[in-house]
Chain A
Amino acid sequence: MIYILQNYWRALLYSDGYHMTGIAMTLWLLVVSCAIGFCLALPLAIARNSENPFIWGPVWLYGFIFRGTPLYVQLLLIYTGVYGLHFVHNTPVLAGFFRSAINCTLFSFALNTGAYTTEIFYGAIRDTSHGEVEAGRAFGMSRFTLYRRVIIPSALRRALPMYSNEVILMLHATTLAFTATVPDILKVANDAYTATYAPFDAFGLAALIYLCISFSLILLFRKAERHFLAHLAS
């Protein structure tokens, strides 16, 4: 254990000297994919609530595909599959983007968490109480203002507990990153394991780190819930 800590503390924390690795890489994957997923999910959740099948249909299909297949398969398809396509190879912008392993990983992670987050927000928006909406209408709000000032703030608050779950599941999903050569915490733990052949030390340490991150996330979300959902308590 001490050997692993002495030799791998830097790689576990932030860098192997050349690339970002370990905790820094895992958190970077988590934050960026959740941020993109969130921005993606908000408009899609509104579209999913539309009555026009040409608007909610594609969003439903996106959710159906990305929630219906394993993230591992999605990552493999995007990392190995997409870059192998001819038109991607021949379009410099696309080739440049998909050549990078971290781009592919973030792309697939964001699409995946985006699909789940869309479903969470969709449910929350759908369940907005009629009273709130009617009050807004009676106030003479336009549809846009109604969404901006009543429905979305209310829906996001109510979605918070479910969303925190999704973020923690996403943290656990980042362990797939090394499939696409991105050196996250698990990759460093794997290095430590192959150097020492001490599975409980190497992977136990990784488990402990994930536990700490999960726990910090839970604490953060609990604080946020207490702040934003205070009016719902009782």
Chain B
Amino acid sequence: MKKLFAPALAVACMLGTAMPTAASARPFTQITFGVDATYPPFESLSPSGAFQGFDIDLGKAICAELKVKCVFVNQSFDGIIPALQARKFDAILSSMTVTPERAKQIDFSSEMYDEPTSLIVKKGSGLVPSAASLKGKTVGVEAGTIQETYAKTYWQPKGVNVVSYQGQDQVYADLLSGRLNASLQDSVEADYGFLKTPKGADYQIGGNVTYDPKDVLGSYIAIGVRKNEPELLKKIDWAIKEIHANGTYDKLQAKYFNFSIYNAQAAKQAP
């Protein structure tokens, strides 16, 4: 018995250098992810009520690497951090961008993906995402997003009229009604949520935001976990590295996007 056990232990130790083993009392058999399933193509509910989307597939791939069961729990985005703290689930998997404010509350994994912020304008308006171009114009943003902070930080002081909305759909509604000259949101949301719908036919991306010296747009999108659980974080980070290495990530990316959504900013650490 002992003879058999020793090599197994050695293998386990070797594996251990790559995959951190659990030392927690509770057996590690499943990860419960908190998801705000209202944000296609990243996370949404299928007509039959199943979770679907890029984030969901990535989550499943991570669970498969760690050989644990994946459970998804629906939770609205504005209450998702308190719900994590209240232990309603183990991790947040909901297109959450790492920001200094959020990083004070929870820990973040390494980069899942990254999407630029872009400006939607009417075709032919010639507006681009800069204070000079938008001076005297009205730009709509969703309240509580990093895009709102961006527009209020860089554009409002320079004479751009920034209006906050309760929801992104209201921003699009007022863009269509003509109250707004432009709207600022992340590029995939803009593409899937508006430009690819029939309503968005007369609109286009005016450009992506590149100027951000104060780093208000944060870094990248990651999985959030409670601060006192570095073990889980280490496992998730390891699984993310693995799915990149074995090509799973690229396969999933190709399923949803025709561009690279991984910005390879992995060197840039969470603040």
CB distance from A196 to the nearest CB of B (A): 8
Q: Is B163 in contact with A181, judged by CB distance below 8 angstroms?
A: yes
> Which single member of B81, B105, B152, B177 contacts A83 (CB below 8 Å)?
B177
> Using Cβ atoms and an 8 Å threshold, which residues of chain A touch B144?
190-191, 194
Cβ–Cβ < 8 Å partners of B82 in chain A:
197, 199
A77-132 residues at the B interface, CB under 8 angstroms: 80, 83-84, 89, 99, 101
Whether the Cβ atoms of A187 and B164 lie closer than 8 Å is yes
The digit string for B174-206, where 1 denotes a CB below 8 A from any CB of A, is 100111000000000000000000000000000
Q: Is the beta-carbon distance between B143 and A194 smaller than 8 angstroms?
A: yes
Report B-chain residues with C-beta under 8 Å of the C-beta of A195.
101
* Bound CA–CA A197/B144 (angstroms): 11
The answer to whether B156 has its CB under 8 Å from any CB of chain A is yes
A163 to B164, CA, bound (A): 33
B155 to chain A, nearest CB (A): 11
Nearest B residue (CB) for A85: B177
CB distance from B147 to the nearest CB of A (A): 13
Residues of A within 8 A of B165 (CB): 181
Q: Are the CB atoms of A83 and B166 closer together than 8 Å?
A: no
Instruction: Write the chain A residue with the least CB distance to B161.
Output: A18
Complexed CA–CA distance, A183 and B79 (Å): 21
Tell me if A84 and B143 are in contact (CB < 8 A).
Answer: no
How many angstroms from the CA of A193 to the CA of B162 in the assembled complex? 20
Contact B156 A18 (CB under 8 A): yes
Cβ of B177 and Cβ of A80 under 8 Å apart? yes
Given contacts A80-B173, A197-B105, contact A187 B143 (CB under 8 A): yes
Minimum CB–CB distance for A224 against chain B, Å: 36
Q: Separation in Å of the A105 CB from the closest CB of chain B?
A: 13
Distance to closest chain B CB from A89 (angstroms): 7
Q: Could you tell me which residues of chain B, from 136 to 165, have a CB within 8 Å of some CB in chain A?
A: 143-144, 152, 156-157, 162-165
Verify if B78 is at the interface (C-beta below 8 Å from A): yes
Given contact pairs A190-B144, A194-B78, A181 touches B101 in the complex (Cβ within 8 A):
no
CA distance A178 to B164 in the complex (A): 9
Interchain CA distance A99-B174 in the complex, whole Å:
10
User: Which residues from 102 to 117 on chain B have a C-beta closer than 8 Å to any C-beta of chain A?
Assistant: 105
CA separation between A181 and B178, bound complex, in Å?
15
Tell me the number of A-to-B contacts counted with CB atoms below 8 Å.
Answer: 43
Would you call the interface of chain B mostly helix, strand, loop, or mixed? helix
Give the residues in chain B near A18, CB-CB below 8 Å: 156, 162
Cβ–Cβ contact B179 & A99, under 8 A: yes
Which of A101, A183, A190, A194 has most chain B Cβ within 10 Å?
A: A194
Contacts of B166 in A (CB 8 A): 178-179, 181
Q: Which residues from A are CB-within-8-Å of B178? A: 89, 99
Q: Are B156 and A181 in contact (CB under 8 A)?
A: no
Using A179-B166, A199-B82 as known contacts, say yes or no to A83 and B179 having CB atoms under 8 A apart.
yes
Measured between beta carbons, the chain B residues less than 8 angstroms from A190 are 143-144
Q: Report the separation of the CA atoms of residues A190 and B148 in the bound assembly, to the nearest whole angstrom.
A: 13
Residue on A with the closest CB to B81? A197
CB-nearest residue of chain A to B160 = A18
If the complex has contacts A179-B166, A181-B163, A197-B81, are A191 and B177 also in contact, measured as CB distance less than 8 A? no
A157 to chain B, nearest CB (A): 41
Looking across the interface, which residue of chain B has its beta carbon closest to that of A179? B166
On whether A183 and B156 interact (CB within 8 A), knowing A89-B178, A191-B144, the answer reads: no
Chain B residue at smallest Cβ distance from A80:
B173
- Are A181 and B177 in contact (CB-based, < 8 A)? no
Identify the closest chain A residue to B179 (Cβ). A99
Contacts of A197 in B (CB 8 A): 81-82, 105
Residue ID in chain B nearest A104 by CB atoms: B179
Q: What's the least CB distance linking A86 to chain B, in Å?
A: 11
Q: How far does the alpha carbon of A197 sit from the alpha carbon of B104 in the complex, in Å? A: 10
For chain A, residues 189 to 223, give those with C-beta under 8 angstroms from any C-beta of chain B: 190-191, 193-197, 199
A101 engages B78 (CB within 8 Å): no
Cα–Cα, bound, A195→B149 (Å) = 10
Residue in contact with A101 in the complex, picked from B143, B157, B163, CB distance below 8 Å: B163
Which chain A residues border B143 with CB–CB below 8 Å?
178, 187, 190-191, 194
A181-B166, A191-B143, A194-B78 provided; 16 other pairs, C-beta below 8 A? A17-B157, A18-B162, A80-B170, A80-B174, A83-B179, A84-B177, A89-B178, A101-B179, A181-B163, A183-B164, A187-B164, A191-B144, A193-B78, A197-B82, A197-B105, A199-B79
- Supply 7 A–B pairs (Cβ within 8 Å), ascending by A: A16-B152, A179-B166, A181-B163, A194-B78, A194-B143, A197-B82, A199-B82
